[in-house]
Structure formats: structure tokens, C-alpha cells
């Protein structure tokens, strides 16, 4: 049962093969059995089963929606009413939101069943899931390896088949990179496509919610639920939402695939490059044309990102001050001491590092040289893509320069850690949609192919990914230890 | 040396929207602590601000009324600092591009006029309140006020005396109330003022070092605080010292200003554009619609009152003090323009003193404009004298009925029958032989005594003109005897 896609589970539920409660219990058992990968922060079986019972009722009364009864794991960055929401931080280790994030509410309203909250890098700051207050998530393909981050818990849960699907958020690659490292399908939609309301902010102008699934088809089904304008989020876009499954299967003949020469440069593991080249041949066979393109400002993406993201984060995380909710230091002398101790004790080192970088970049006298300059670079990077999309329909390349690396390998070398997101950050800076799909293995570790589309071209990249998955079976591979 | 004072004012006006600037919580004043703070106001993780366009509407209304430039695109920024009643750890405000730029306000000064420039007016959210009493050594936080929309109106340093500063503030206060932009209630903090003050030798071009005064939340305090601070600065300089640029708090109990305790390091607010809010874009159509709903403004109304009702400038000035007063006046005059002067007098003296006495607004007056009009009509048609009218007014104020009912009930109708008045006068004169002698010997003042006696005998109801005429005739004829 665990290898079944959302699409298949829906059909089974509607046919009465099993109930939503049975399905939920099945996954709860797997979550229990495979605790060693540390994919979940919070699991509340009674909460899950009560939602499943509601779903079964709706199915019985024939009042169900397309995804009613389908279990899903939510990244612990989304506020869930009545259920602990920690952002994998000590500072929120006791926080139970009184409201649901819009993405959560949409899942609920469509009858989906919450399996629990997944582990992540603290406040989504990390590429390896090692910054979590609750300990690192382990890569199901090799438990000495990182699963990627920051949505590492959701990615690991989906590939280990502890959940048919997961939600994630992507600020610099936090959906696509763990999807690549875990060998699943990770979609980051266009900025503004999915509401950010109730999603704990890391970098507001970059954060975007998305999906972690086995297949592109499942991602389309889930995006149908999540996408849409939200009056509570002024940065969500009032753009009509198509049925993302409608175009799936469409012919790719004549598709122009842009290959940025900068994405196949030094820094890319040759073995990864080879896997990607093999995948590109599949598209050629499907009738697509490969075109080399130029994204001249690519090398500026990482420095640009590491000014903008920490700047916004330094301000976004100011609300965690111990006054109204969350962790508060026990012993303090006065107000300032309470602020300082609470934040010193409540945040982990990576979060503190980024708050300090951001505070510095926004300071009087440095603002122009850092924040303003980074904003200008951001415009240049965006222009590169706009020009590229005049010559091609989608852009492809590796999602990451290497497969998963060992736990602890890069925790001391931050630059190496940050360079992990070198191919994914640009889609956040420009706001473009991107998807990572499994496209081979290197040393028994998955490799991800990234497909970037133009604004609101989710339907197109989902179909491109879907067509690839009709030709390949990388996405169906399950890590050995989780195959039963 | 002669010193010149330079004053600029920053006024925070609470905009009278129903809900907050970035959330749907109510802005009603006086609710129990934290009952009007939603998840956005208390800055729960994950929440986002959504601009309340009504706040922009009111800001534009103000901008148009002072002849300012309305910026078609303005930008919200975050002002970052830690404070327990600032839930997000930053205040959303407008920094580089405010919604309103420029503009001016004209003040009256000893009969002449002076124009005070407005630098800018920008939208921002208010913070909550820290409560230090009743918490046994701890502090309480009330976030009801957090997120209340404010318009911060910054003037140019154009004022040269506390009197000018007060005149500017009063004018601004009147204006925002006219526009219904704010209730501008100073006690409730919906109209708050900070002042930047410096002094310089008369004739010097450069400004002196300024201090910023806070906590001056009544017109009286503004005047006193400014006066104190100006003298303090002059003393410092004359004693060979230097004014330090700092923020000073006014202590109304001691009538002095003193430096606020601040950290050594200057505040760096790390302003940057708020990524949660797109720039505020205003269409020409929106601005035109606001322009069309602008009411007649105080200056224009005053000129019209002088012109249309032939009032003198002082009377007109008093009547336009609030839109409600002006409306009351026009309603009481109705179509009878000839009564305007009398109506103005009644409003500015009798009614004003009653309102003052009971601390009521004109809208709360038990004597409506309609009732005042009828009262004045009864004076004009000689039913009652002006003096009796005051008695009637008092009765109306006490809720004893309409003009005519009160005149009827109390028998206050004027005696206008010549024969009746003559009879009373004869009775008075018959008892006043000594006074008649005095009068005859040339003491004209005694005439007043006779009038008084007649009025006393009629309980003030005799028509005064008739009493005068008949009395003079009688005295003349008695002297000719």
C-alpha cells in the first residue's frame, strides 16, 4: 500500500477498498516503526484518526472532494490549530497556534488528513536538516547521510513512504534540494501562488509553500488544493488557478529546453552531470530541443541571497522575544536581560548567525552597500531569466551539485553548505516556479533534475516532469530498509 | 542678546477607521485589555498584515485639505526595535516615500496670517501599552491599541513662538475633526504631539541645536513645556554651555522637561521596505473621489459666514471652531439671515457658557438649533424680552419644554398693553415722590430706578421700550405741573 500514489489512493478510497481511518492507521504505524530517521516532530494519532473519521463520513455521504481522506505530513513551519508548531526551534518548543495557516486550512477543507508535523532546519535555515532543535533527520537511502533541508522531514517521510505526500516551504531551495537528495518530486510554485499566511516567515520575499510527493501528477493534485489568492496575504497573487492535472500527458514535441551553461560548470559533480545528461536524452527522445542559454549573473545568486534572506529574517524573527508566547528564559535581571537571554537560549547557532548577518546588512551606513546592492543584483538575476525565457520554454539543470553528503560533513564549512543551494536560489530571487524530480542515482544516492518554468507556468513544468516520469522509474524507487 | 525660537511639531493623529490598519480587529477605545487584539495584532508566528484602505482614504483626505502632494505610490517600511508593547519587534511605518508630501496650514496671529509648512504626513501603526500598576512588580501589556492607524503629520520648523505652535496645533486639531479624519481626542491619545525646539540669536541663519519634547498631550502642556524648554536652552547658552541634542520628557507636575533615559548607542532602526506589503498604489480616480467628498474647510467657511451673514470676523471665528458649531449656527439661522447676528451672540455667549459649565459638546446640547431659532423669533416678535429669553433658555436647557410651552406655563409673555403699563407706572410714581424730586432736580440717573420698579412690579414682563416711552412722558408731564 505504501508505494501507492495519491492518485491511486484516491481511487481506492472512493472504491471502498479501505477506509481513510485504515489508511491513516497504516501510515501512523509506519511512522512509529521508522522513527529512527527522525522525520517527525509531532505525531498525534487521535488527532489524525478523528480527521480520518470525518473523511470517511464525507466519503460515505458522497460529499467528498478530490483528496478527501488522503493523509499528508505538514512541515512544522505551518501553524496548525491546536497542534504544536515549533519550526524546529527551542524558542517555539511550547507553541500551540490558535489558528490554521491558509495552506493547512485548505488541506483540511478538502478533507485531507494530517499525519503530523515534520522535522526541518530551525526556522528553515539550513540545507541539511542539521540545525533542528529536535536533532537531524536521516536520509532513508543511507542513514549516515543528510536528507537535505530545510524541508528534510517531509522529504524523508515521503521517500520512506511514511506519508503519501508532504508540504514544504522553499526560500532558497528548501523543497527542491531535499527532494533531490531524497529522490522524490518537490515543487516550489511561483512566488505568490500559494498563501504564506500562517507559514512562519523566514525571508518574506523569498518564502513559498509547495509540495513533496512521489510523482508530478500527485504534485498537480496537491497544488490544485493549495494554490490561490488569499486576502490575508497581500503578496499572494490574484491569478486564476487552472486544473493542474488537465494538461498532464500532453506531447512534448517542440518543447525548447534551456540549459544554462553556468549550471554545468565547475563545482558540479561529474557523476551528477552524467545522470542529468542521461535524463536530458529522455527529453530529446520525447521531441524536445536542447538549447544552451546564458544566465550571466548566476554566480551572484548565493551572495545576493545571503544578504536578502538574513536581512528579512533578522526582522521577521524579532517577534520571538519571550513576551507573548514561546520560550522565555528563567532567570533575568531586567527587560533587556530577558530579551537577550530568551533569544540567546532559544535560538540555535545558525539562526543567530543569520540574525546577526541580517542586522549588520541593514545597519545605518551598511544598508546601501549590502541590502540595496543585493536588491539591484536581484533585479539583474531576474532579468537574466526573463531574457532566457524568450529563447526557451523551460530551463533544466541539476538541482544540486552533489548527491547527499554525510551528516556533519559541512557543518563547519558554511560556504560549502551554502553552495549546496547554488542552482536553486535563483528561482527564489526571481520568484519563478521550479520542480525537482528523481533522475538517477550516484553511489546509491538519488540525483535530482530541476525544471524551472516561467511565471505561473506550473502546469507546464508539471507536465514536463510527468512525461519524464512516464518514461522512467526513478521516482518509484524506495530505499531498501523501508520497502516493507 | 535677543533670542529667536524655532519650533517644529510632529503630530500623531489616530485615524477614525473602524478596524486596525493591518488587521480586522476593532479600534474602539476603552475595551478590556487585549480583547481587541487579534492574531495579527499580537504578532503570532506566521501572520501577515493587510492594508486597510480606509486609512489611506483618510490620509489622502487630509493631504488634499492642506494642499499637499499625494504620492501615487508610497512604501511601507519596518522600523526595528525591541519593546514589550511592540509585538512584532518592528513598527510598520512609511519612511522614504510617505503617502503625503508637502502642504501648508495658515494660522492667525494678531489679526495677520502666517503660513506653516507641512513636510510630510505618513501612515503607521500604533504600538500597545505597558501597564505598570497592579502587577506586583511586573508589567502588563495591553495590545488593544497595537495596530491602530496613525497619521504622523510633520511640520516644517516654521513656528517662532509657543503661541504660534499652539495656533498651529489648534488649527490642525480643528481641521482633522472637520475632515472626520480623526476624533482627535487628546485625553484618549488620538491627537498626540511631540515638539522640536531650538533657539538662536536673532538674525542668525543656522538653526541652533534642537531638543525633542515628548509627553505634551494637551494644548496647555505644549505651551508650558515649550516655554520652559526655551528658557532652559537660553540659560544654558548664556551660561556658556551648549544645548545637547536629546529627547526630553515633560513633567506636568513639576512643569519642567528632563532628559529621557536613553542608551548611549543611538537608535539604529534598520529601516527597510516591508516585504509583506506591496507598495501602496493610488489611482487618479481614487484621489478624485476623495477630493469630491472634501467638506467646506474652516477657512472657507469663515469667509462665507462673514460674507453671507454679515458677521464680524471674531464672531465668525468662534462659530467655525467646529463643524458641529457651524452647522448648529446655520441651522438656527435657517432662512432668516437677519437674525444671524443675534443667533451668533446666543451661541457664542449663552450656549457656550452652558456647554462649558456642563462640559458638553454642542451636539449634546439639550437646546437644539431649532429651539434656539424659536426662542429668537419670540424676542423678535416681542412676545418676550431678551432678558426673559435667558430665563426661557435656562428652562429649555433643563428640559422643561418648548419655547412657547415655557412662556405659557410660566406666564412670561411680555406686557405690551399701553394702558396696563401706564397703570403700573402711575402706581410706581405714586409711591416715589422723593425720587421724583431728585429726578426733577436734574439727577437723570434716577430714571433707571423707575424702570427697575416697573419691571419688578411686572416680574420683568413689561415691554422695555414701551416702559421707557410712557415713563418719560409721565415724568415730563408731572414736572410741568
Q: Angle at Cα B274 formed by Cα B271 and Cα B277, nearest 5°? A: 155
Flag whether pLDDT at B219 surpasses 50: yes
CB contact under 8 A, B272 and A98: no
B286 to chain A, closest Cα gap in Å = 19
- A-to-B residue pairs, Cβ atoms closer than 8 angstroms: 98
A319–B80 CB contact, under 8 Å = no
Predicted model pTM: 0.91
The one-character DSSP state at A14 is H
- Burial label for A332, CB within 10 Å (0-12, 13-18, 19+), is middle
**B250 grid coordinates:** 515633560
Kindly list the residues of chain B whose beta carbon comes within 8 Å of any beta carbon in chain A.
39, 42-51, 78, 80, 82, 84, 87-90, 141, 268, 270-272, 275-278
Per-residue model confidence (pLDDT) at position B266:
59
pLDDT tens, chain A, 484 aa long: 888 999 999 999 999 999 999 999 999 999 999 999 999 999 999 999 999 999 999 999 999 999 999 999 999 999 999 999 999 999 999 999 999 999 999 999 999 999 999 999 999 999 999 999 999 999 999 999 999 999 999 999 999 999 999 999 999 999 999 999 999 999 999 999 999 999 999 999 999 999 999 999 999 999 999 999 999 999 999 999 999 999 999 999 999 999 999 999 888 999 999 999 999 999 999 999 999 999 999 999 999 999 999 999 999 999 999 999 999 999 999 999 999 999 999 999 999 999 999 999 999 999 999 999 999 999 999 999 999 999 999 999 999 999 999 999 988 888 888 888 999 999 999 999 999 999 999 999 999 999 999 999 999 999 999 999 999 999 999 999 998 8
CB < 8 Å to A325, chain B = 44-45
Q: Provide the sign of the torsion angle of the four alpha carbons A185, A225, A173, A387, taken in this order.
A: positive
pLDDT tens by residue, B244-271 = 999 999 998 999 999 986 644 457 999 9
Contact A321 B45 (CB under 8 A): no
Look at residues A131, A134, A137, A121 and name the one whose alpha carbon lies nearest to residue A200. A121
Q: Which residue of B has its CA nearest to A363?
A: B270
Report the largest interatomic distance among the alpha carbons of chain A, rounded to a whole angstrom.
70
Mean pLDDT over residues B100-120, rounded? 94
- The partner residue sitting opposite A204, judged by closest CB among B84, B89, B275, is B275
Query: The C-alpha cell of B307 is what?
Result: 460674507
Q: Best residue in B270, B273, B274, B277 to probe A by mutation, most A CBs within 10 Å?
A: B270
HSE on the CB side for B11, CA within 13 Å? 30
Q: Shortest CB distance from B270 goes to which of A101, A319, A359? A: A359
Query: What letter does residue A90 receive in the DSSP assignment?
Result: G
B333: DSSP letter:
H
Q: Give how far A283 is from chain B: nearest CA, Å.
A: 38
Taking the mean position of all CA atoms in its chain, how far away is CA A329? 32
Q: In angstroms, what separates the C-alpha of A135 from chain B's closest C-alpha? A: 22
Alpha-carbon gap, residue B9 to B164, rounded angstroms: 11
A101 to chain B: which residues are within 8 Å by CB?
46
Question: Are residues B44 and A325, on separate chains, in Cβ contact within 8 Å?
Answer: yes
Distances (CA, A) of B290 to A235, B58, B294, B298: 26, 9, 7, 18
Asked if the Cβ–Cβ distance from A204 to B45 is below 8 Å, we say: no
Res B197: pLDDT = 97
Cell numbers given for B335: 432662512
Q: How far is CA B186 from CA A363, B55, B170, in A?
A: 36, 20, 12
pLDDT over 90, % of chain B? 73
Q: Which residue from A319, A325, A339 is facing B88, i.e. has the nearest CB?
A: A319
- CA-nearest residue of chain A to B142? A324
Which residue numbers of A are catalytic?
Answer: 75, 150, 174
- Domain A6-255+391-482 in CATH 3.40.50.300: no
Cα separation of B253 and B275, whole Å?
44
B341-389: per-residue pLDDT in tens? Answer: 999 999 999 999 999 999 999 999 999 999 999 999 998 888 888 888 9
A42-46, A377-381, B50-54, B477-481: which range is least confident on average?
A: B477-481
Residues 6+ apart with CB under 8 A from A70: A6, A9, A10, A13, A20, A23, A111, A112, A113, A164, A165
Q: Give Cβ neighbours of residue A266 (< 8 Å, ≥ 6 apart).
A: none
CB–CB contact B46 A95 (8 Å):
no
Domain range list for chain A: 6-255+391-482
A contacts of B47 (beta carbons < 8 Å): 197-198
Give the integer Cα–Cα distance in Å for B50 and B72. 18
**Euclidean distance between CA atoms A237 and B24, whole angstroms:** 21
Amino acid at each position: 500500500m505504501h508505494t501507492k500514489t495519491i492518485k491511486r489512493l484516491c481511487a481506492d478510497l472512493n472504491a471502498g477498498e479501505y477506509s481513510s481511518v485504515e489508511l491513516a492507521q497504516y501510515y501512523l504505524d509506519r511512522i512509529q516503526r521508522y522513527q529512527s530517521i527522525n522525520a517527525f516532530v509531532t505525531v498525534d494519532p487521535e488527532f489524525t484518526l478523528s480527521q480520518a473519521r470525518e473523511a470517511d463520513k464525507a466519503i460515505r455521504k458522497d460529499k467528498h472532494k478530490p483528496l478527501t481522506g488522503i493523509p499528508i505530513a505538514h512541515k512544522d513551519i505551518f501553524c496548525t490549530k491546536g497542534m504544536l508548531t515549533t519550526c524546529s526551534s527551542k524558542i517555539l518548543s511550547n507553541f500551540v497556534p490558535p489558528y490554521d495557516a491558509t495552506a493547512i486550512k485548505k488541506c483540511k477543507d478538502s478533507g485531507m488528513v494530517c499525519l503530523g508535523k515534520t522535522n526541518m532546519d530551525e526556522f528553515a535555515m539550513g540545507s541539511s536538516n542539521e540545525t533542528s532543535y529536535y536533532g537531524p533527520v536521516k536520509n532513508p537511502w543511507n542513514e549516515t547521510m543528510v536528507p537535505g533541508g530545510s524541508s528534510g522531514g517531509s522529504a524523508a517521510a515521503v521517500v520512506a513512504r511514511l506519508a503519501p505526500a508532504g508540504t514544504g516551504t522553499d526560500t532558497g531551495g528548501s523543497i527542491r534540494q531535499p527532494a533531490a537528495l531524497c529522490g522524490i518530486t518537490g515543487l516550489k510554485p511561483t512566488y505568490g501562488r500559494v498563501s504564506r499566511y500562517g507559514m512562519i516567515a523566514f525571508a518574506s520575499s523569498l518564502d513559498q509553500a509547495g509540495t513533496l510527493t512521489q510523482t508530478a501528477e500527485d504534485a498537480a493534485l496537491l497544488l490544485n488544493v493549495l494554490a490561490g489568492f488569499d486576502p490575508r496575504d497581500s503578496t499572494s497573487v490574484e491569478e486564476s488557478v487552472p486544473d493542474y492535472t488537465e494538461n498532464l500527458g500532453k506531447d512534448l514535441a517542440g518543447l525548447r529546453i534551456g540549459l544554462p551553461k553556468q549550471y554545468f560548470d565547475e563545482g558540479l559533480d561529474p557523476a551528477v552531470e552524467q545522470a542529468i545528461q542521461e535524463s536530458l536524452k529522455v527529453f530529446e527522445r520525447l521531441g524536445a530541443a536542447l538549447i544552451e542559454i546564458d544566465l550571466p549573473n548566476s554566480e551572484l545568486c548565493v551572495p545576493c541571497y545571503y544578504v536578502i534572506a538574513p536581512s528579512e529574517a533578522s526582522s521577521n524573527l524579532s517577534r520571538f522575544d519571550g513576551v507573548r508566547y514561546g520560550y522565555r528564559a528563567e532567570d533575568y535581571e531586567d527587560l533587556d536581560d530577558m530579551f537577550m537571554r530568551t533569544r540567546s537560549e532559544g535560538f540555535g547557532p545558525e539562526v543567530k548567525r543569520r540574525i546577526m548577518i541580517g542586522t549588520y546588512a541593514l545597519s545605518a551606513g551598511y544598508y546601501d552597500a549590502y541590502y540595496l546592492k543585493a536588491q539591484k543584483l536581484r533585479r539583474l538575476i531576474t532579468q537574466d531569466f526573463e531574457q532566457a525565457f524568450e529563447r526557451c520554454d523551460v530551463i533544466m539543470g541539476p538541482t544540486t551539485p552533489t548527491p547527499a553528503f554525510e551528516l556533519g560533513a559541512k557543518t563547519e564549512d558554511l560556504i560549502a553548505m551554502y553552495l549546496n543551494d547554488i542552482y536553486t536560489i535563483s528561482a527564489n530571487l526571481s520568484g519563478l516556479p521550479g520542480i525537482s524530480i528523481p533522475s538517477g542515482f550516484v553511489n546509491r544516492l538519488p540525483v535530482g533534475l530541476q525544471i524551472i518554468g516561467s511565471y505561473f507556468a506550473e502546469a507546464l513544468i508539471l507536465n514536463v516532469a510527468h512525461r519524464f516520469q512516464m518514461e522512467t522509474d526513478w521516482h518509484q524507487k524506495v530505499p531498501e530498509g523501508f520497502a516493507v | 542678546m535677543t533670542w529667536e525660537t524655532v519650533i517644529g511639531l510632529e503630530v500623531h493623529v489616530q485615524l477614525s477607521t473602524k478596524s486596525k490598519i493591518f488587521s480586522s480587529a476593532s479600534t474602539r477605545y476603552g475595551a478590556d485589555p487585549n480583547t481587541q487584539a487579534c492574531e495579527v495584532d499580537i504578532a503570532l508566528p506566521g501572520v501577515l498584515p493587510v492594508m486597510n484602505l480606509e486609512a489611506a482614504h483618510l490620509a489622502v483626505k487630509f493631504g488634499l485639505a492642506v494642499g499637499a502632494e499625494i504620492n501615487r505610490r508610497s512604501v511601507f517600511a519596518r522600523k526595528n526595535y525591541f519593546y514589550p508593547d511592540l509585538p512584532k519587534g518592528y513598527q510598520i511605518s512609511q519612511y522614504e516615500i510617505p503617502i503625503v508630501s508637502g502642504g501648508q496650514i495658515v494660522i492667525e496671529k494678531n489679526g495677520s496670517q502666517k503660513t506653516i509648512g507641512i513636510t510630510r504626513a505618513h501612515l503607521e501603526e500604533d504600538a500597545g501599552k505597558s501597564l505598570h500598576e497592579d502587577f506586583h512588580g511586573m508589567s502588563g501589556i495591553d495590545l488593544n491599541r497595537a495596530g491602530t492607524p496613525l497619521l504622523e503629520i510633520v511640520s516644517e520648523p516654521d513656528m517662532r513662538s509657543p503661541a504660534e505652535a499652539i495656533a498651529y496645533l489648534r488649527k490642525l486639531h480643528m481641521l482633522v475633526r472637520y475632515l472626520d479624519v480623526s476624533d482627535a481626542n487628546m485625553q484618549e491619545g488620538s491627537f498626540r504631539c511631540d515638539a522640536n525646539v531650538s533657539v538662536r540669536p536673532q538674525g542668525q541663519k543656522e538653526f541652533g541645536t534642537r531638543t525633542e519634547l515628548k509627553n505634551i498631550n494637551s494644548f496647555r502642556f505644549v505651551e508650558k513645556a515649550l516655554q520652559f524648554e526655551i528658557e532652559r536652552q537660553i540659560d544654558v547658552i548664556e551660561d556658556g554651555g551648549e544645548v545637547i541634542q536629546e529627547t526630553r520628557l515633560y513633567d506636568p507636575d513639576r512643569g519642567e522637561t528632563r532628559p529621557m533615559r536613553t542608551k548611549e548607542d543611538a537608535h539604529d532602526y534598520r529601516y527597510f521596505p516591508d516585504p509583506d506589503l506591496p507598495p501602496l498604489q493610488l489611482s487618479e480616480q481614487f484621489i478624485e473621489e476623495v477630493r469630491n467628498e472634501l467638506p467646506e474647510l474652516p477657512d472657507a467657511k469663515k469667509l462665507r459666514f462673514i460674507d453671507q451673514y454679515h458677521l464680524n470676523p471674531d464672531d465668525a471665528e468662534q462659530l467655525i471652531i467646529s463643524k458641529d458649531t457651524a452647522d448648529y449656527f446655520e441651522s438656527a439661522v435657517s432662512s432668516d439671515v437677519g437674525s444671524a447676528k443675534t443667533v451668533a451672540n446666543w451661541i457664542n455667549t449663552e450656549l457656550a457658557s452652558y456647554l462649558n459649565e456642563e462640559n458638553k459638546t454642542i451636539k449634546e446640547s439639550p437646546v437644539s438649533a431649532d429651539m434656539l431659532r424659536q426662542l429668537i423669533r419670540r424676542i423678535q416678535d416681542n412676545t418676550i424680552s431678551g432678558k426673559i429669553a435667558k430665563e426661557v433658555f435656562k428652562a429649555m436647557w433643563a428640559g422643561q419644554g418648548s419655547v412657547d410651552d415655557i412662556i405659557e406655563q410660566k406666564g412670561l409673555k411680555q406686557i405690551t398693553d399701553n394702558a396696563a403699563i401706564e397703570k403700573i407706572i402711575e402706581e410706581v410714581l405714586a409711591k416715589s415722590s422723593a425720587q421724583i424730586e431728585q429726578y426733577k432736580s436734574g439727577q437723570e440717573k434716577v430714571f433707571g430706578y423707575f424702570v427697575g420698579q416697573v419691571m419688578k412690579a411686572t416680574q420683568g414682563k413689561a415691554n422695555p421700550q414701551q416702559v421707557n416711552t410712557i415713563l418719560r412722558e409721565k415724568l415730563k408731564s408731572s414736572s410741568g405741573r
